[in-house]
C-alpha cells in the first residue's frame, strides 16, 4: 500500500495539467510505453483503450478511498454513519463468501430451537472451528485479491507518469 501511495503521489507531482490526458488512451498511436508487470502482463494488455484522463481520476480516487475510507462512505451513503464513524456495506464478493460458507452449514431439524450442524455431524466447538477456518480462508483470498488490485493500479500510475512525461512533458 505504501508503494501505491508513493507512486500515486509521484504521478500527481509529475502530471501538473491532467486535462492534457483527455485525448490519450492506453495503446493509442502515440503509446510507446512497454512496461511489464510482475506477472508478465503490460498495462496495454490489462487496460487496453482506457482513457488516460479517466484512469488518472480513478487512481486518485482509489488513493483517497484507501487513505480516508470514512470520507468515501459518507459521500456514497450520506446519513448512514455507523458505530465507528462509517457505514459497513458488504461487497458482492463478501456476500458470495458468506453464502458459500452458509451452504456448508445447515440448520438442524425443527426439533432443536438453537444450534448449527455441519453435514458431517460435527457439533459445538468443532463447528465453530470449521466456521473460523472458512472465515480465515475467505479473508486470505480477499487479501490476495486486494494485493493484486493495488499492484495493478500501482503499475497503472507508473505508466501514466511515464506516458505523460513522454507525450506531454516535452510540449509544456
Q: What is the pLDDT of residue 119?
A: 53
Q: What is the pLDDT of residues 60-87, one digit of tens each?
A: 999 999 888 776 556 665 554 443 444 4
Average pLDDT over residues 22-31: 84
Q: What is the pLDDT of residue 28?
A: 83
- Whole-angstrom distance, CA of residue 48 vs CA of residue 64: 24
Give domain status of residue 93, yes or no.
no
Give domain status of residue 64, yes or no.
yes
Q: What is the pLDDT of residue 154?
A: 94
Better-scored residue on pLDDT, 162 or 76:
162
Q: How many residues does the chain have?
A: 172
Give domain status of residue 77, yes or no.
no
- Whole-angstrom distance, CA of residue 72 vs CA of residue 114: 39
What SS3 class is residue 36?
strand
Give domain status of residue 84, yes or no.
no
Domain count, the chain: 1
Give domain status of residue 135, yes or no.
yes
| Model-wide pTM > 0.85 | no
Average pLDDT over residues 14-43: 81
Give domain status of residue 76, yes or no.
no
Chain-wide mean pLDDT for the chain? 74
Average pLDDT over residues 15-32: 86
Q: What is the pLDDT of residues 120-160, one digit of tens each?
A: 555 666 777 788 999 999 999 999 999 999 999 999 999 99
Give domain status of residue 58, yes or no.
yes
Give domain status of residue 85, yes or no.
no
Nearest to 11 by CA among 49, 70, 48, 61: 61
Domain span including residue 47: 1-70+129-171
- Sign, CA torsion 32/37/40/45: negative
Amino acid at each position: 500500500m505504501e508503494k501505491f501511495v508513493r507512486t500515486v503521489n509521484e504521478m500527481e507531482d509529475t502530471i501538473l495539467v491532467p486535462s492534457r490526458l483527455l485525448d490519450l488512451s492506453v495503446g493509442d498511436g502515440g503509446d510507446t510505453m512497454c512496461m511489464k508487470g510482475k506477472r508478465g502482463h503490460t498495462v496495454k494488455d490489462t487496460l487496453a483503450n482506457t482513457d488516460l484522463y479517466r484512469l488518472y481520476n480513478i487512481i486518485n480516487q482509489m488513493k483517497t478511498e484507501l487513505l480516508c475510507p470514512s470520507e468515501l462512505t459518507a459521500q456514497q451513503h450520506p446519513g448512514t454513519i455507523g458505530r465507528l464513524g462509517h457505514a459497513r456495506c458488504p461487497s458482492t464478493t463478501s456476500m458470495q463468501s458468506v453464502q458459500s460458507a452458509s451452504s456448508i452449514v445447515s440448520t438442524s431439524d425443527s426439533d432443536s430451537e438453537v444450534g448449527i450442524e455441519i453435514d458431517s455431524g460435527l457439533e459445538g466447538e468443532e463447528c465453530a472451528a470449521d466456521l473460523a477456518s472458512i472465515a480465515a480462508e475467505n479473508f486470505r483470498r480477499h487479501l490476495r485479491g486486494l494485493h493484486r488490485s493495488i499492484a495493478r493500479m500501482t503499475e497503472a500510475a507508473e505508466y501514466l507518469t511515464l506516458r505523460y512525461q513522454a507525450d506531454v512533458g516535452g510540449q509544456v
